[in-house]
Amino acid sequence: MRTRGMGRAAIAVTVAGAAVLAGCTVQPADGDGKRRSPVHIEMPGDSPAPARSPAGGGGPGTAPAPPTDDKPSAAPAPARVLWSRGDTGRDVRELQARLRQVAWLFDGPTGTYDDATERAVSGFQGKRGLPRTGRTDTVTWQRLLGMTREPGRWDLYLMGGQPADPPDARCRTGRVLCIDKTSRTLRWMVDGRTVSTVAVRFGSQYTPTREGVFSVYWKSRDHVSTLYDSPMPYAMFFSGGQAVHYSADFAARGYAGASHGCVNVRDERAISELFAQVRNGDKVVVSW
């Protein structure tokens, strides 16, 4: 009887073990995609799992566990913002000039951090996996610096806005259109006082703007060039066919283009006001 009972027990253990090893259902996969047995089986030779120490210390003869700092680690500080919407100045011009180099901005530079600049910065940031804030922080600026070259003066002032150099001495008396080829500016001066200043563009090396002292001899509000068949609004002629006039091409392309010898103005409102003030016989000085 004892032997028979022990035999039934052995058979029961064997059947139970076979059921565990063979399995009867498909087990769901763990998060890593691998199927796991719901039962942990230690085979001979397996290393025993390390004993867990009770909270607050180890077993007899063991040193207490060192204290731990349960405070969460501090989040990294956000990058410092250098410029954002509404900022103005030379640094903003450089930012805009560099954004133009990588084709994220097509207008300006204007020197004002406007909506177009904010959109350009945001697009540049998103393309490079940076937070799309539209604000230029130190990380964004360093990334842009690494992709672009140092802008030259006429990259910064491609569309005008540059300061004028001191006027030529010949401009300090009377009524004068004082035109400076170095700073690319025109001062309208009366008795030594500057009334207004505008950016101007000149002829190319093949059709240069003549230098010297001249006078306005003819004004033509809606003039069209007979030589080039191009509009020359608000034309004030001072030397042969050369005149100070508004240029839509200058307004659109800035210093990327040149005239056929005339002095181009890109600000239509400014040239219309100037046209109304200048008289025939007023002096014109063109100098470097």
For residue 158, give every residue at least 6 positions away whose Cβ sits within 8 Å of its Cβ, in sequence order, or none: 97, 100, 108, 109, 254, 255, 256
The pair phi, psi for residue 119, each rounded to 5°, is: -65, -40
Burial class (CB in 10 A: 0-12, 13-18, 19+), 272: middle
Task: Give the DSSP H or E segment for 251.
Answer: helix 248-253
User: Of 105, 73, 77, which is closest to residue 92 (Cα–Cα)?
Assistant: 105
Supply angle C-alpha 152, 266, 112, rounded to 5: 55
Number of helices followed by number of strands (H, E) in the chain: 7, 11
Catalytic residue annotation: 245, 262
Cβ atoms within 10 Å of 118's Cβ, excluding its own: 17
159 residue type, one letter: M
CA 197 to CA 219: how far, in whole Å? 20
Distances (CA, A) of 92 to 103, 108, 112, 135, 238: 16, 11, 6, 12, 37
